[in-house]
Chains A and B, each alone.
Chain A
Amino acid sequence: MDESRRPLGEVIATSYSSFTVESYTLNSTPPLGSLVVAQNVIGVVCSAHTEGLGPISARGSLEGDDESVYEMYPDLQRTLRSQFGALVVGCYDESAGSVSEGRAVYTFPECPPRIHYKCRQAGDAELVLFTQRPDYLRLLLFSNEVPNVDQVLIHLIVRAYRARGNDHAWLSSTAEYLGRQLKGQYDRLLAVLKTLDALTTPRLEHTGEISEAVGKVRL
């Protein structure tokens, strides 16, 4: 099975504008801002949490590693659960073909994804295709389901930017679209742009690459 299409979990709560998925694997939730698909509905991960089904009484030892508590209390795998929430940002037009071939439309689906249907994370190619046009940002920008939707948006943009091989021209056009959509919200726009800039500006000191200008040592 294609790793990128492996299900992450099942839908456990659903609506037109968002859905919640319980992960099959404890502590395994997709990163913030990643694209997930349940049925034909496309969402962006906006929250994640792991909690106990009841009160948590297990404790690790002071000397042990972080992971050692799971070895000491194997029941934790059953008594804890990981869930993540996704904001709906579009859906596949199934009339155009199967879900995988369908054309993404940036609107709410006719029906929310069904409970217990599987949810998978979209791969880079799917993410690139989905973010080809900046209209995918519209639903996110005006969502009021989560307190700080801008963080979701920033992470989604950064993921798509990296999936494109750090395509700065794409980033510029996306930022310009944001600027037009956030008319009259200058402070908000500035905060988003500055964060995007911080996350996408190459940090030369961390690259470990030898500058082309200097040349490489030939043995």
Chain B
Amino acid sequence: MENNGKEISLVSQLIWRIESERNGNGRSPAERAPLGQVTAADTERGVTVHLRREQPVELLRQGQFVVVEGRHVRFFGTIGSFRLATTDPAVGMDPPDSASPLVRDTLSRSTTYAECNVRMALELSPEGMPRPARTIPGPFSQAFVAGQADYRTVFGTEDRHHFVIGSPRELDEDMAAQAPICIDLRKFVERSNGIFGRTGTGKSILARLLLCGMIKSDASVNLIFDMHSEYATEKELEPRGQGRYAKGLRDLFGKNRVALYTMDEEESRKHGGVDGAIRIALSDITIDDIEALGSELKMSEGSAMLITARQAWRKLGRNWIERLVEMDAIRLEEYCTQTGANTGSVEALKRRLETIADFPFVVSSKEAVGGGINGLINDLKGGRHVILMFGQHRSTLAYMLVANILTKRIHDEWVKWSERHEQDREGQEPPRPLVITIEEAHKFLGRGSATIFGTIAREMRKYLVTLMIIDQRPSGIDDEVMSQIGTRVTALLNDDKDIDAVFTGIRGGSQLKALLTTLDSKQEVMLMGHAVPMEVVLRVRSFDNDFYRSLTTGPATPTKLARNIEENIVKSEKAKTSLESLFDE
């Protein structure tokens, strides 16, 4: 650097160095960069790294991936917090008032220092595999900002089971390809998963991304309860009005692999392209389904109306809703006299049940249900992914009703399939892992809720049915269910209760909470849990042409699955024929 007789402060030297690095004259971000050395460590509170003077603290970020080379063990962790300190308390009490760069820079470099707290998550086992850190690095162990090779060691490289979900937040987008963060999809589908974040943080795009990964790798077969009809086809990306669209799953994978079912026959008639319509018979709605809809029907636990409903279920049998809804005033009075039920409660219950009976997709007779549900189940069994669109029926009541009833049916099928396989391991194929995606999950999985979704979340992988829940209020989800969530992908959350809920059952959750609040509201998420070796803050990959291209390359679809899909298309064609005949009627 030239002097030119002018003052060149340490700061300007530093800026020059940083700029030269940015211009490619320095270290490549793909390489490790020295960070500092370990000066203190604690298994509970993490490791203190005294930063090198050459490492400007302002260029580091919370959540940054760090490697510590101990004498015997290599550790991996993330920066949790930073701290500026002075070697002399007097400096803090009486900071220099001089404007001289010499005084200021000298004091800042010699009497102050920066350190960061690193949460050690993993250590490298003697076999070279990352495993949870069980010890701490020795004094003065050298710490580094992780390089490309370190990311690969921990998160693996993209292959059939490892799906690139994003890149480290601290890397520029053009450098992101050098350090992809992969998620192990086999582990991901083993347990129920959650995508959390406040409104507008890109949860549905993230869900779409993960679904693409699962579909591409055939890690599982997926059923998506698509409340807003946004997963199948193109969706405009935010900010809206800029002509940026994300392709739908059907656009990307075609009808051979993704089946569309609808709750809205009218809309499907207009647009076509669906594989079937779902109708629900009133007789299939049990008292448990009504209880699960308690919050939407304004029937609280223990209320007179719910007691009346249970009584009606017992007295009127399987067609209880149909019979109750069809009662005129005289018959209702007779029913109340016979059963001793309160007339007001029965009338109120009748009104609530009428809202259900009035849904166009709810039919009175078993025969009118058609082959929709069976077609959907057969598609899933055959390995075809299913998106169930709700069309105009976007109310939470409709969504919960359908999701509950269908999931119960599907769950029953998978339980039977598992049991058949258990009884005849040689002759019967094991069930295909099924992932059910639901939105507004806290409505299904609230405290004390006994819905089928709670059962699935708690059962875990017993019957190879798991959930991918998408929610903006994780605090509304039962703690027990939350603790069973395997992998959590968390975008920005504001509410303290929601943040606490997300970290339920996570080791070192308190340290991670602070990190969560540093997320940008767009594209940044924290990934933690079963499918990744350690928690990581990442920038989610863009849903763009590069991504679409990556879906068409990579490992080939297994022949067996392809055969199943072909078989399934034949079945769905049959189902469609029966559907058309229904419409004709």
A residues lining the B interface (CB < 8 Å):
166-169, 171-172, 175-180, 183-187, 189-190, 193-194, 196-197, 200-202
Task: Say whether B106 contacts A193, CB under 8 Å.
Answer: yes
- CA–CA, A177 to B106, complex, Å? 9
Q: A179-B106, A189-B111, A196-B102 are in contact. List 4 more A-B contacts (CB 8 A).
A: A169-B8, A175-B110, A184-B87, A189-B107
Task: Say whether B100 contacts A201, CB under 8 Å.
Answer: yes
- CA–CA, A79 to B9, complex, Å? 52
Task: Say whether A179 contacts B102, CB under 8 Å.
Answer: no
| 12 residue pairs A–B, Cβ–Cβ below 8 Å | A167-B3, A168-B8, A169-B1, A171-B102, A172-B9, A172-B102, A175-B102, A180-B110, A193-B100, A194-B100, A197-B98, A202-B7
Label chain B's interface by main secondary structure. Answer: loop
Residues of A within 8 A of B106 (CB): 172, 175-176, 178-179, 193
| Interface flag for B91 (CB, 8 Å) | yes
Residues of B within 8 A of A202 (CB): 5, 7
A176 touching B110 in the complex, CB below 8 Å, given contacts A167-B3, A168-B8, A169-B13 = yes
Which B1-24 residues sit within 8 Å CB-CB of chain A? 1, 3, 5, 7-10, 13
User: Which A-chain residue is minimally distant from B93 (CB atoms)?
Assistant: A186
| Interface flag for B88 (CB, 8 Å) | yes
Chain B nearest CB: distance from A121 CB in Å? Answer: 27
Chain A nearest CB: distance from B175 CB in Å? Answer: 31
Task: Say whether A197 contacts B88, CB under 8 Å.
Answer: no
A186 touching B109 in the complex, CB below 8 Å, given contacts A168-B7, A172-B102, A197-B100 = no
Task: Say whether B110 contacts A166, CB under 8 Å.
Answer: no
- CA–CA, A176 to B103, complex, Å? 10
| Interface flag for B94 (CB, 8 Å) | yes
Task: Say whether A197 contacts B103, CB under 8 Å.
Answer: yes
- CA–CA, A166 to B6, complex, Å? 9
User: Which A-chain residue is minimally distant from B86 (CB atoms)?
Assistant: A186
Chain B nearest CB: distance from A65 CB in Å? Answer: 39
Residues of A within 8 A of B7 (CB): 168, 201-202
Which B532-555 residues sit within 8 Å CB-CB of chain A? none
Residues of B within 8 A of A193 (CB): 98, 100, 102-103, 106-107
Residues of A within 8 A of B107 (CB): 179, 189-190, 193
Task: Say whether A190 contacts B103, CB under 8 Å.
Answer: yes
Task: Say whether B98 contacts A166, CB under 8 Å.
Answer: no
- CA–CA, A189 to B3, complex, Å? 26
Residues of B within 8 A of A178 (CB): 106, 110
Task: Say whether B5 contacts A176, CB under 8 Å.
Answer: no
Task: Say whether B109 contacts A179, CB under 8 Å.
Answer: yes
Nearest first, the 8 A-B pairs at minimum CB distance are A179-B110, A186-B90, A175-B106, A197-B100, A193-B103, A197-B102, A176-B110, A186-B88
- Mask, B322-364, CB within 8 Å of A = 1, is 0000000000000000000000000000000000000000000
Chain B nearest CB: distance from A44 CB in Å? Answer: 21
| Interface flag for B96 (CB, 8 Å) | yes
User: Which residue of B90, B100, B102, B110 contacts A187 across the interface (Cβ within 8 Å)?
Assistant: B90
- CA–CA, A105 to B499, complex, Å? 61
Task: Say whether B109 contacts A168, CB under 8 Å.
Answer: no
- CA–CA, A196 to B98, complex, Å? 13
| Interface flag for B105 (CB, 8 Å) | yes
User: Which B-chain residue is minimally distant from A196 (CB atoms)?
Assistant: B102
Chain A nearest CB: distance from B119 CB in Å? Answer: 30
Residues of A within 8 A of B100 (CB): 193-194, 197, 201
- CA–CA, A196 to B107, complex, Å? 13
User: Which residue of A171, A179, A185, A194 contacts B98 across the interface (Cβ within 8 Å)?
Assistant: A194
Chain A nearest CB: distance from B93 CB in Å? Answer: 9
Chain A nearest CB: distance from B5 CB in Å? Answer: 7
Residues of A within 8 A of B91 (CB): 186
User: Which residue of B3, B96, B110 contacts A168 across the interface (Cβ within 8 Å)?
Assistant: B3
User: Which B-chain residue is minimally distant from A193 (CB atoms)?
Assistant: B103
Chain A nearest CB: distance from B110 CB in Å? Answer: 2
Residues of A within 8 A of B8 (CB): 168-169
Task: Say whether A179 contacts B111, CB under 8 Å.
Answer: yes
User: Which A-chain residue is minimally distant from B98 (CB atoms)?
Assistant: A194
